[in-house]
Amino acid sequence: MSTTPIPPGWKGGFAQSNPAFAYPTPDLSSLEMKDNMDNIKLLTRQQGVKWPEFSWQTIPGDESSRCFQMFSPYISRLGYTDEGRVYSIICPQQGACSPTFGCMNVEVTVTGQRGWVDETTKTFYADMTVEGTIWFSPSSLQEEWVKKAWDIFNKFGLDFPTSKAKAIKVATHKFQDPNHPIFPVSQGETPRFKSPAFARHEDEAWNVGHIDVQIGDIKKTGHKIVDEFNELVMFAFNTASGNMLKQGNTLTWNVWFTQPALVDTDEWETHAKRWRDSIQADHGSPTGPGTQARYFDGTPFKAVDTLELEMKDTMKKEIHQLEKMEVNKIEGFLQKHFEDEL
C-alpha cells in the first residue's frame, strides 16, 4: 500500500462517536441515509477510486465463468468531512453492446449512503442503497428494430429508455438478503473469491474496500407494454454483457483508493452531475477507458462465450443464434402490440 503522507486538516473522531460504528460488525442504523447531492458543501476530503475493479459471474452459479473488469479510473469517489463523516459516494458506469440493440449504458446509481472514514488507521465503513439503470446510447437508436420501436412508442406517448431519466430500473439488495435493500461497503478485498494479479493494486493503492450487491427485479413502470419491452431490453443487455444484471446475480467491486486529498466542492458537484446526467457509452469516458472484461487466466470475455456455454449441453445451436434470438423477440413484440403500425 502507498505510504504517501495525507494532507493537513484531518481531525477524525466521527468513527469513534458511537461504539456501534466499530468493526467487526459496524451498525450505522442511527444515521440517516443521505442522497449524494444533499451535502456536497460539507465535503472537505476525499479518496479517489483510481482502480474500480468489478467482477461478476457471466453464468450465475458457475465460479469458473467469473470475469474481472476495471471501470473508468477515478469514476468513483468517497467524500467526507474533516471529522470523517461520509456524505457522498460516486459509483461506476459502464457500457455494453448488443448485436441487435447496439450500445447501451449501465450505471449503478447511488440512491442513499451513510458512513465513516478514519484516515489515521486507514479504515472506513459505509452503507449504500443503489439501483441499476439501463438506457440506449445514441448509436443504438439507429439500429433498425430499436428505431422502429422508438418511433412507435413516441406515437403512442409511451416512455422509451433513450436517456438516464427514462432508464430501465433494476432493484438491488444486500448479498443473500433480498428483503434488505441496504448493503455494506466494507474494509478490505471481498472474501468471497480470489482476484487475479491484474485486478489487484496493493503496491500502488492507499487502501482498498469492497462492495457485494445482488440483483433483484426489474422495477415496473405501471404500463404493461412498456414493462414487457423493458424485459426484452434486459434480455438483450444481459446477453451482451454476460448476465451482468441478471436477477439473482451478484456484482462485486474491489475499490482501490488513492491517498486522501482535499475537496473542491464546485469540482465535486460538476463531477457528480456529469455522471448523474451521464456520459454515453458511444463517447467514452472523460476520465479514461477501463479495461476489457477478462477471466481469471486473462482470457478476454466475449458475449458468445456465455452463449456457447449455456447451449453446449442442451440447445446445440450456432453462435449466430444470439442475434436471431433477439431479433425474433423484438419482431414478435412489435407484431403483438402494434401490428397496424408495421
Amino acid at residue number 206: W
pLDDT at 145: 78
If DSSP codes are grouped into helix, strand and coil, which group holds residue 98?
strand
Alpha-carbon torsion 34, 192, 48, 16, what sign? Answer: positive
pLDDT at 342: 57
Span 21-48, average pLDDT: 95
Query: Grid coordinates 469517489 are at which residue?
Result: 77
Alpha-carbon torsion 77, 79, 84, 86, what sign? Answer: negative
pLDDT at 249: 95
The whole-model pTM stands at 0.84
Q: Where are the alpha helices (DSSP H) in the chain?
A: 144-155, 224-241, 265-277, 303-311, 321-338
Query: pLDDT tens digits, residue range 72-95?
Result: 888 889 999 999 999 999 876 666
Packed helices 321-338 and 144-155: angle between N→C axes, nearest 10 degrees = 20
332 — alpha (psi -120 to 50), left (phi > 0) or beta?
alpha
Query: pLDDT tens digits, residue range 100-133?
Result: 667 788 877 888 999 999 999 999 999 999 998 8
Q: Which of 110, 115, 79 is nearest to 253 (CA)?
A: 110
